[in-house]
Structure 1
C-alpha cells in the first residue's frame, strides 16, 4: 500500500507541476523537462551503473536501453506537455482517466496479462473518481484553449 500511495502522490505532483510549467507554453515545458531528466539521470544513474556495466559490451542491449528510455520517458512526457499546454484541465483529466483502461488492454494484447476482478474493480474506481470529480472553479480550469482565449464568457 505504501508504494501505491507514494506513486499516487508523486503522480499528482507531476500533474500539478506539469500544468504550472505548461502555462508558459509547450516549448518552455519541454526544455524544463529535458533539464529535469538530466538532473534525474545524475541522481539515478549511480544506483544501477555497476549492474549495467555488463550490458555496455553488447551494442544491441545499449540500443534497446536507449529505445526504452525514449519510448517510456521522452515521448510520453513531451506529449503530456503538448497536451497540457493546449487542453483544458478537464479534457486532460479525461485522457488520464482512460489510461488505466488502455494500459490494461495493451497488457492483455501485448503481454497476455489477464486482469483479475480486483484489478478491473480498481481500474473502474480510478476512472469513476476522475469522471465524477468537479473542480471548485470550473471556469478557471477550462479556459486553456489552443489559442489562449477564454471561450466561457461567450
Structure 2
C-alpha cells in the first residue's frame, strides 16, 4: 500500500486500468441505447451529462477563469467530441472488434512516434502484432464497409489528438480541464444532435437514468482518471498501455456477452499484456536512471 502511495507511475497505471473497466462496463448499456436513440444523441448526452456531473462534483464555479488557457481546453474538447461521436458512427457500419482494431491505429501511432530506445520499439511492435491478432478475421465478410473503416481510423486520429492535447497545460487542475473539455465537446455535438432530431424519450424514465449512468461510467469517471494518468505517463507509455483496451473488451465480452475467443486472440491478449508490462517497467527504469543522474549532478 505504501509503494502505491509513493509511486506516481503505479498510481497512474491503476487509474488507467480503472478507466478502461469503466468504459467497457458501459458498453452493453450504450449498445442497448443505440437500438432506441440516434448515435449522435447518445454521444452528445453522454458528454453533456458527464460535464454536468463533474461541474457539480468539482465545483466548476470556483475556477479562476482568467487563468484558463482556452486554446488547450478547446483542442481537448474537440478531440473528445470526435473520439466519441465518430467511433460510435463507425460501429453502425462495422463489427465492434474490427472497428476497435482500426481505431487503435491512433494511440499506437503516438506510441511509435515517441519511441526512442530499442526496447520502446519492441513493446510498441509487440502491441501492434497483438492488435492485429485480435482482429476477428472469422467475422469479416467478403468486403468491409470502407466508409466505416475510414470513420474508425478518423476516431483513432482523434484519440491520438486527445492523448497529446491532454498533456498540455490548461492553467487549471486536471479535473476542471476534463469538465470544461466535456462542455466544449457537448457544445459541438449537441447542436448537431438537435438538428438531426433528438427524441423526447430521453427525458422519460428509465432512459434518463440510463443516460446519467452512461455519462458517469463512459465519460465522467474514465476521462478524469485518464487526465490524472496523463500527467505522470509519457505519450509512449500511455499509447502502449491503452492497447490493453481490447483486452478489457474481450474479457468483458466473455463475462457479460458469452463471446468466445479464437486461440490467436488468446495469444494476442498475452502479447498485449506483455507489451504493456514491458513498457511500464522500462519507463519506470528510465525514470529512475534520470532521477539518479540529476541527484548526482546536485551532489557530485
TM-score after normalising by structure 2:
0.37
Pair 92,17 (structure 1): closer, same or farther in 2 beyond 3 Å? same
- What is the root-mean-square deviation in Å for CA atoms of aligned residues? 3.6
Unaligned runs of 5+ in 2: 1-148, 296-300
Pair 66,95 (structure 1): closer, same or farther in 2 beyond 3 Å? same
Equivalent position of 1:86 in the other structure = 232
- Once the two structures are TM-superposed, the CA of residue 77 in structure 1 deviates from its matched residue by 0.8
Pair 129,91 (structure 1): closer, same or farther in 2 beyond 3 Å? closer
- Once the two structures are TM-superposed, the CA of residue 28 in structure 1 deviates from its matched residue by 4.5
CA distance in 1, matches of 2:195, 2:257: 28
Higher gyration radius (CA) = 2
Unaligned runs of 5+ in 1: 144-149
- Once the two structures are TM-superposed, the CA of residue 68 in structure 1 deviates from its matched residue by 0.9
- Once the two structures are TM-superposed, the CA of residue 85 in structure 1 deviates from its matched residue by 1.9
CA distance in 1, matches of 2:211, 2:167: 29
> Does structure 1 residue 98 correspond to structure 2 residue 244?
yes
Q: Secondary structure at the match of 1:86?
A: coil
Aligned length: 139
- Once the two structures are TM-superposed, the CA of residue 3 in structure 1 deviates from its matched residue by 2.7
CA distance in 2, matches of 1:93, 1:122: 17
CA distance in 2, matches of 1:117, 1:59: 43
Equivalent position of 2:210 in the other structure = 64
Pair 63,88 (structure 1): closer, same or farther in 2 beyond 3 Å? same
- After superposition, the C-alpha distances for 1:72-125 in whole angstroms (9 at most, x for unaligned) are 111111111111123344543453132221221112112222244675677678
Identify which of structures 1 and 2 has the higher relative contact order when contacts are C-alpha pairs closer than 8 Å and 6+ apart: 2
